[in-house]
Chain A
Amino acid sequence: MTSNKKDPILVVLQMTGAYDALNTFVPYSDPHYVDYRANLQIGPDQVLAVDDKVGFHPGMDQIKDMYDQGKVAVLQGIGYPNPNRSHFRSLDIWHTAEPERMAPDGWLGKAIRDIDPNKENILTAVNFGRGLPRALAAPGVSVASIGDINNYGVLTGIQSTEKRSEALDIFARMYAPMIGSGPVSDYLSQTGLDVLKGADILKTAPETYSSSIEYGGSPLSQWLKSIAQVHLADFGTRVFYTGVNPGTFDTHANQSVTLPKLWADVSTAIGDFYEDLKEHNANEEVVILLFTEFGRRVQENGSGTDHGSGGVAFVIGDAVKGGLYGEYPSLEPEKLDSGDLQWNNDFRGTYATLLEQWMGLDANPILGATYEQFDFIK
């Protein structure tokens, strides 16, 4: 734990589709890299080098700037045993922190339960996007899941403001708990009322917010803006979750065209978000985890890359001790795992570090075991 006076906040950004680790954090001077990536190579003149071996994708300049300021931990060679190359299953594994078997509960869902065991705050965790990722799901944990903060709540299809407010008034009365109606009905009542209350509270966030930062138009930028609004409105939210649409980073073809744009969007969004927090003196209490479900095949397929393993993740924030963590996986052909990077640090070690050293929680019960932690939190 740092000496933060404010409660620590975790923002998780899921880069769905599996970004290409090799061209995200680039081993640009490795001769094998040049061999494997005849067409897709990012050369020394393009890479945003952090030393004479590795550097960021050229689209990631804001993230590189933050790296230079010591705010970015790069988790090299992150992965898990028996890598799975299915998007869905691999995301499940990251969501549930359980590579060996199918597990229903999310790691953050369990963390949220520990943060707010008595469910005192219906906004302890907020997700932006379509549908709740399994990472946030756990029995008895309620998470506000928002597509559009300016239009969140039930019966949003009713156009007339007056009609909708009448409808919500009736809704509130219909969901009022009734004595003797049983635990299931009580639970449904509570859920309905929580949704109403959450929507009521959340809609004030954009109203009270003002900032000189103009966010970009990408969905991620807009969601990070919403996260800034909710965070700055002080509702006590401790976990935020958002990401990019399924398949976004799934660059089987045309990678040299799409990847620069994708990273530029993400990097700009994160840079703007950080500047926005800073403008409001709220930058110190926020740490960002940026991850993807797996890495991509070392050998390019011509214009793109196929599913692989052994990835890279980033932890970003003022509280972060910037630098390189884990080892860059070897590119020597005999050290590859069926043509993929060999992972060398279990992603659950990063989760454990964030849960214990940042969020101040006991990681073992959440992750089901103890994992070796990094020291990337100041």
Chain B
Amino acid sequence: MPENDVALMGHLMRRAGFSAQYHELEARAAKGYEETVEELLNPDETTHGMDLDLAERYFIEWNHHIRCVPEYIAFRMINSKSQLEEKMILFWHGILCHTDSKNQSQVASHAEWEMLRRCGMGSFKDLLIEISKDPAMVYFLDNCLSHKDAINENYGRELLELFSLGVGMDGEFNYTEDDVKECARAFTGWTIANGIPPQPYGRYTSTFVFNPDDHDEGEKTFLGHTGNFNGEDIIDILCKQPATARFISRHIYDFFVADEAQVPTWMDTPPRDPETIKMLEDEYFRSDYNIRSMLRVLFNSDAFKNARFARIKGPIETVIGTLRLAGEWTTPKPGFEAIFEEMKHMGQEILNPPSVEGWHTGRDWIDGGTLVRRINFIADYVGDVSYPGIGDMVQRLASEGPTITPEGLVEGCLRLLGHYELTEENHQMLVNHARDSGVSSTDSSEFPRQVAEALQMIVATKEYLYA
């Protein structure tokens, strides 16, 4: 297997998934890049490769979805072979976001998560309709408080600002305050039966209902169109806007290719890579707003393939990726809570983004406190060769010959971590360090510790903050 192909697969699996162990990269590379892309783009019930029955019996609250929704989410991220499916839910969760701190209903959060699974790679228009009818969202953005005679603009505004158009593009505003009001009017009557949060009556499922008596049937003028619009009509108009194509394309680029400027600056800050954005916008319209098609052209583009290590990993990617690398949590066991604590302390709590805008990404993930937690978390895992994934790395290096050079050790570790790359200076520093620790023989009892130390130094680098 040419190492270039494995390296490219490492890149794909860091972006279109939560990274993968070396043997998986080899197997996927052997299958082929485009074939792997297709496999990731077309998940179904039979391809995730997990024993969810077993997990459900272990996490007994899963099947009621009373609690343990973060456990369910994390377990699937770690173990699903349909990695892109899980990654896409995280992508949408950061954009179409709600917080369980307001909703206090894991039943509703779970229903939304599964809706994102079902619709996350289909038509963007369908997704907008579904999210507008999603009970967690209807409650989170107060659309259930928006009435024919007294509109609440919250959902109307966020649908335009955060879910479709964005505030502005190329220095121009994308909508007016009147558009917000008219949009909110069109969504009156889109409400829920069974309130959220479920207290004090217990745990039941909330459902979307359309209440025609509370729907404003008057004429509305929205983005220059006039008519008796309902929510679907608004979404139809929104999906046709070039600003929506731009907005979604930039989000996809930011999440899968390279760190973009923070979303609130997009009106005045042009895209980092206008050509790739144009390619995505064209595919958006060509495919009738199909997200899967946009991802397909993206993953197969040179712009994507060349954008190695151009994004700072988010905390969920960091934690899940580390556990996948270590081969930990492949079966259910107690103690999962500590994993969410880690994500939270690194700055990203599942189901609780800091605001309606979702998480700020890129360099904003890193401050003194989060950096310490991130490095120590990864270093503690890779430094423990009793984890199957780390033990495998030692075995693999040992199986390559009875002796190893300091260069061989550092390069081998970088390769097994998924073909990471260091600056020349840092690479040399780690080689010198390995030489000073006297690494030479792979059957020495010191060898596992030497591998662990090299791995720890690599994951502490600035380069390893990136994916």
Contacts and interface: CB of A to CB of B under 8 A. Distances in A.
A-B interaction: yes
B363 interface: yes
A89 B102 contact: yes
Contact of B104 (A86, A104, A142): A86
A261 interface: no
Kindly list the 8 A-B residue pairs having the minimum CB-CB distance in the complex, ordered from nearest: A145-B369, A88-B101, A131-B345, A102-B355, A157-B380, A132-B369, A142-B368, A89-B101
Given A154-B379, A157-B379, 19 more contacts: A86-B104, A89-B99, A89-B102, A102-B99, A102-B355, A103-B355, A104-B354, A131-B344, A131-B373, A141-B367, A142-B368, A143-B367, A157-B383, A158-B383, A178-B425, A184-B312, A188-B462, A192-B462, A195-B372
A166 interface: yes
A188 B374 CA distance: 13
B352 interface: yes
B371 interface: yes
Interface of B is mostly: helix
Contacts of B465: 188
Interface in B309-366: 312, 341, 344-345, 352, 354-357, 360, 362-364, 366
Interface in A81-104: 86, 88-89, 92, 102-104
B392 interface: no
Contacts of B370: 132
Contact of A139 (B364, B371, B429): B364
A127 B345 CA distance: 13
A185 interface: yes
A325 interface: no
B108 to A, nearest CB: 14
Contacts of B357: 104
20 contacts: A89-B102, A104-B357, A131-B345, A131-B369, A131-B373, A137-B367, A139-B364, A142-B367, A143-B367, A144-B369, A154-B371, A156-B376, A157-B376, A157-B380, A158-B379, A166-B433, A166-B436, A188-B465, A191-B368, A194-B368
B456 interface: yes
Interface in B422-449: 423, 425-426, 429-430, 433, 436
B313 to A, nearest CB: 12
Contact residues on B (Cβ < 8 Å of other chain), bracket? 35 or more
Interface in A172-195: 173-175, 178, 184-185, 187-189, 191-192, 194-195
Contacts of A122: 368
B407 interface: no
Nearest to B367: A142
Contact of A185 (B362, B460, B462): B462
A192 B426 CA distance: 15
A127 B367 CA distance: 13
Contacts of A137: 367
A145 B368 CA distance: 8
A271 interface: no
A132 B366 contact: no
A153 interface: yes
Interface string B104-138: 10000000000000000000000000000000000
Nearest to A145: B369
B457 interface: yes
Contacts of B101: 86, 88-89, 92
B462 A170 contact: no
Contacts of B366: 187-188, 191
A1 interface: no
Contacts of A134: 354
